[in-house]
Amino acid sequence: MSYDQNTFANLISHAKEYGYIFQSSEIYDGLSAVYDYGQNGAQLKKNIRDAWWKSMTQLNENIVGIDAAIFMHPTTWKASGHVDSFSDPMIDNKDSNKRYRVDHLIEAFADELKTKGSADKAQALLDAMDALLAADDLAGIKKLIEDNNIKCSISGTCNWTDVRQFNLMFSTELGSVSEEASTIYLRPETAQGIFVNFLNVQKTGRMKIPFGIAQTGKAFRNEIVARQFIFRMREFEQMEMQFFIRPGSQKEWYEHWKAERLKWHKEVMGTPSERLRYHDHVKLAHYADAAVDIEFEFPFGFKELEGIHSRTDYDLGRHQEFSKKKLQYFDNELNQNYVPYVIETSVGLDRLVLTVLSNAYAEEKWAKEDGSEDSRVVLRIPPSLAPNKLAVLPLTKKDGLPEIARDIIAGCKGFFHCFYEEKDSIGKRYRRMDAIGTPYCVTVDHQTKEDQTVTIRYRDTMTQERIHMNEVAAKVLAGLAL
């Protein structure tokens, strides 16, 4: 399922024009890689978050949710390894002063090779890069860049600095400067809030292994190469679940969550199978004994959407070591104490918003009965995720039609989000609702006054039918359950 060449650029401007996503602080020329969600984007994001939360905490009786603070004790990040090794290898071009993440620089060059028909050469280059990154061979990476004559896109030169590691955490001071200030970090992932609360939740919830703790919330990373819209942001939202298990059972649970999560993307987010794939990690993070990405085919290619990691007892073990507090579980069945192993599922909420919008965005053209061409831009968002479920549109602003429309909304708004609009022709209003992704429109006309029927119009097929106004809520609710 390939995209049209301009889809991504058109999608970005569409998201702005229809109240989904704005550049942060736009009136001050924006802040790079930081975005705000508008009235429709915030609701879409919330619907996706709610769907994830439900699938984790409501549909699994052994998974509970928490909401930990963004600020954490600074030792957390020493224990987790982030202070020492949460960094990306970067290289600067000495002529343009532009900084690149080396893997991005090399991957972009490999893409160029592929478009020029040298797919084998591109693959060999990527394999060489993976091997060097896995060995932490920074000098080797620089040599690879030079040997392939990879140039800076701005200066066009190959005049590179050495490759260096840059830490991605934002730091700030806790307390006023005059007091004894201490450096703390904006969390770069939500997972650690779960680990440090492992025993609190296990004890107060009387949880028995295997069990999971889920959390959604903001995370912050000082991404050096921040581009591709909301794909890579400096402030973003994660939805993570840590599943605590018996040591030795990690293979089985890793396979379980790997399959479950892929299924969720297909069934709940409505993502077509051909736009999803697994990508096994070659270079494992310092905490993992197995890791896979679920990749989605974004308009700019297949990229990571979610990570599933088998984290062993690394995190709990390290927090135990640094805090000097036991983080163990007594397993009644085994009559034994142990530090549980963990399988983590970690998905970016903003990347999911982009996934849903990428799947939904369509520019459609067709011939009308008189032979002329008609067109529309439609967001085919799954009805359960769409920001507004129903638009109620009185044909005219008079003759009591707005009052009937308001009555219909009054009967529906307790169940789902409704939208009222009376300006412009019905055709224009339908187009606007298509562009926002509203799955159902109901038009109130003069016949409604006679027989209480309305026209319901379906976004995806553009077909219309006449139903009794009392049936509207049930009809929409039935559609949301699909």
The residues that touch ligand ATP, with contacts defined as CB under 6 A, are 189, 221, 223, 232-233, 236, 238, 304-307, 346-348, 350-351
Measured from the CB atom, the residue of 315 and 350 that comes closer to ligand ATP is 350
Asked if residue 389 lies in contact with residue 417, where contact means CB atoms within 8 angstroms, the answer is: yes
Closest distance of CB 172 from ligand ATP, Å? 18
Phi-psi region of 206 (alpha: psi -120 to 50; beta: other; left: phi over 0): left
Closest distance of CB 96 from ligand ATP, Å? 23
Measured from the CB atom, the residue of 232 and 389 that comes closer to ligand ATP is 232
Nearest residue to ligand ATP on Cβ basis? 348
Hey, what amino acid is at 71? Answer: F
Measured from the CB atom, the residue of 292 and 393 that comes closer to ligand ATP is 292
Measured from the CB atom, the residue of 95 and 103 that comes closer to ligand ATP is 103
Print burial letters for 337-374: b (CB count within 10 Å at least 16), e (below 16).
ebbbbbbbbbbbbbbbbbbbbbbbbeeeeeeeeeeeee
Measured from the CB atom, the residue of 291 and 456 that comes closer to ligand ATP is 291
Closest distance of CB 136 from ligand ATP, Å? 17
Measured from the CB atom, the residue of 354 and 469 that comes closer to ligand ATP is 354
Closest distance of CB 102 from ligand ATP, Å? 13
Starting at the earlier edge strand, list the strands of the sheet with 211-220: 63-65, 211-220, 235-245, 341-348, 301-312, 290-298, 276-280
Print burial letters for 218-242: b (CB count within 10 Å at least 16), e (below 16).
ebbbbbbbeebbbbbbbbbbbbbbb
Assign 432 to helix, strand or coil: helix
Closest distance of CB 304 from ligand ATP, Å? 5
Closest distance of CB 258 from ligand ATP, Å? 14
Closest distance of CB 281 from ligand ATP, Å? 9
Measured from the CB atom, the residue of 210 and 217 that comes closer to ligand ATP is 217
Q: What is the C-alpha separation between 118 and 135, in angstroms, rounded?
A: 26
220: its two tokens = 């912050």
Nearest partner of 475 among 416, 402, 405, 432, judged by Cα: 416
Asked if residue 302 lies in contact with residue 295, where contact means CB atoms within 8 angstroms, the answer is: yes
